[in-house]
Structure 1
Amino acid sequence: MPHINIRLVREADSTRILEIYRPYVEETAISFEYEVPTQAEFAERIRSVAREYPYLVYTIDESIIAYAYAHRHMERAAYQWNATLSVYVDSAYQRQGIGKQLYACLMEILKLQNIHNVYGIVKTPNPNSEKLHESFGFRRIGIYRQTGFKQGVWHDVTWFEKSIRDHEANPHAFIPIGDIDPQAIAAILARYGHSS
């Protein structure tokens, strides 16, 4: 029986994570990047995000087959209660509910960080990603039409939005992930990453 686990990213994971990301850049328009980032650049991206937000990897028998992360939605102080989510799954493991597990885990951790709203930014059409967001009750809030040009085609981008906690009158400030109780994070990771 395979051992399934979801855990926080480690610095040594960047090589494998970049391998998962590479086809999204080279073979699809899901990523709007034209060039695959260098290993050093990609590792710095991971470090930058993981300093404040959850950056998760999904493993089967300790091999990384998917990853997901949250990052700041916009820079101004008043936006601190929002986060944008991203998930990437190795092509051999798509349509198995892995993205769903990672998204659910991310949102539970983000609640501990006082995040109220989460967003998904999806190149459309992209049925897998659209279904993922719809399954969690995200609302489509707008479409940027013909906003990205890649592989000889203009692409639309759809924004999805979901509230994950009540909007109180005096919200507590955003808490960086390093200041969250590690045991609380471990409990969430254990709930969503389990052997099957």
Structure 2
Amino acid sequence: MVIREAKIADAKDLLAIYRPYVEETTITFEYQVPTLADFEKRIKQTLLRYPYLVAKRAGKIQGYAYAGVYKSREAYDWSCEVTVYVDSQAKACGVGSALYNSLEALLAKQGIYTLTACITAGNEASLRFHEKRGYEQVACFPKIGYKFGIWQDVLWLQKTLGHPPQVPTAFVPYPQLKES
């Protein structure tokens, strides 16, 4: 398996992985599948600040992971939200773990100390996956989302990368990290 940075040209394959999550699950709260142009824009926007990674095996993209802003205020620069999606044919094959291993390593180099993950309650596979990786549930927001005719609870999980220093080093945007 090869883990590499996502390219705009990957958007079609990534969208194919994401589509069933939108159409068939409450894992994402989107009602409509994004357009290819919207998905391309999301990749570009993410790469301005954070890594966006894909896992490829036997010539096929099997999953992707990325980080995003937890909150836009400067005081949150050392925290981010992480997300992973795996092709239904590649689940439980180590794709998600390989993606998160690479993503977390890059985020640590950027000066990120706190990772958050937002999971719809009832998504036991994702909850177990994150708990195995050291994430702990820190919040539950009851009936905060509505999809498929049912109110959904949302869980927030958190993981700390190392021990945050008394005064953090400056956050390094992903493009600067790649240059160094």
The TM-score, its normalising length taken from structure 1, stands at 0.89
Matches of 1:162 and 1:108 in 2, distance apart?
A: 13
Partner of 1:89: 86
Conserved? CA contact 2:118–2:157, under 8 Å: yes
Question: Per-residue deviation at 1:97?
Answer: 2.0
Partner of 2:58: 61
Question: Per-residue deviation at 1:165?
Answer: 2.2
Structure 2: which 5+ runs fail to align? none
- Whether 1:131 and 2:128 are equivalent positions in the alignment is yes
Matches of 2:66 and 2:51 in 1, distance apart?
A: 6
Conserved? CA contact 2:62–2:95, under 8 Å: no
Partner of 1:42: 39
The TM-score, its normalising length taken from structure 2, stands at 0.97
Conserved? CA contact 1:5–1:62, under 8 Å: no
Conserved? CA contact 2:22–2:30, under 8 Å: yes
Change (3 A) 1:166 1:92: same
Question: Per-residue deviation at 1:62?
Answer: 2.3
Conserved? CA contact 2:115–2:160, under 8 Å: yes
Q: 1:144-159 alignment to 2 at 5 Å?
A: 144-159=141-156
| 4+ long deviations beyond 2 Å | none
Counterpart amino acid of residue 137 in structure 2: R
Conserved? CA contact 2:83–2:117, under 8 Å: yes
Matches of 1:47 and 1:181 in 2, distance apart?
A: 15
Structure 1: which 5+ runs fail to align? 184-196
- Whether 1:171 and 2:168 are equivalent positions in the alignment is yes
Q: In the comparison of the two structures, how many residue pairs are matched?
A: 180
Matches of 1:72 and 1:173 in 2, distance apart?
A: 16
- Whether 1:104 and 2:109 are equivalent positions in the alignment is no
Conserved? CA contact 1:143–1:157, under 8 Å: yes
Q: Which has the higher contact order (CA 8 A, sep 6+)?
A: 1
